[in-house]
Copies of this chain bind each other. A is one copy, B any other.
């Protein structure tokens, strides 16, 4: 299944044939359809497992930190680190949301993961430490930052995940502006 994941990630889902997968594994085609219902089924399983792992990594990275802002920061760092390893899965996620059959599964997984972050943001808002905007919107803004930075700087340019995570945290918390806010913590 790791092999199939790698092929899907580097070539794309459609251009990767079942024949190619089983040949790369050195097995017959029958064994594939013995363990998986179909090519689509395999892909969905890969997706589901990956989403589950990512969420687990996030939870583990956050631990039992009580401060909501720190929780968000730790979540960003954990996500970035996970996307650093497993960069192959990045493409899969992105492709899956473009095809109608896979998009629902992707959306569902994303919403579950986002729900965690939304809670932290809400906590931050009631504490008065996060601006009073729609929490879901803020959450997605943060997710967008993570995704884009991971893709461009880690995936395309191969930079260190931790450095990118530092910048992502700084941007998400304080935005672009310099000024008095720079030292307001």
Q: How many monomers of this protein are in the complex?
A: 2
Q: Which residues 124-151 of A have a CB within 8 angstroms of B?
A: 124, 128-134, 137-138, 140-149, 151
Q: CA–CA, A123 to B100, complex, Å?
A: 42
Closest to A147 in B: B144
Which chain B positions have C-beta within 8 A of A48? none
A148 B138 Cβ-Cβ under 8 A: no
A181/B178 in contact, CB under 8 A: no
Instruction: Find the B residue at minimum CB distance from A142.
Output: B176
CB contact list, A153-183 vs B, under 8 A: 153, 156, 164, 167-168, 170-182
Alpha-carbon separation in the docked complex, A182 to B98 (Å): 38
Residues of B contacting A94 in the complex (Cβ-Cβ under 8 angstroms): 94, 97-98
Given the known inter-chain contacts A147-B148, A180-B184, please indicate yes or no for A100 contacting B10, CB distance below 8 A. yes
Q: Given A145-B144, A149-B144, are A171 and B98 neighbors across the interface (CB < 8 Å)?
A: no
Q: Give Cα distance in the complex from A145 to B184, angstroms.
A: 24
Residues of B within 8 A of A164 (CB): 137
Contact present for A172 and B175 (CB under 8 Å) = yes
Compute how far the CA of A133 lies from the CA of B175 in the bound complex, rounded to whole angstroms: 11
* A95-B98, A124-B176, A178-B131 known; A171 vs B12 contact (CB < 8 Å): no
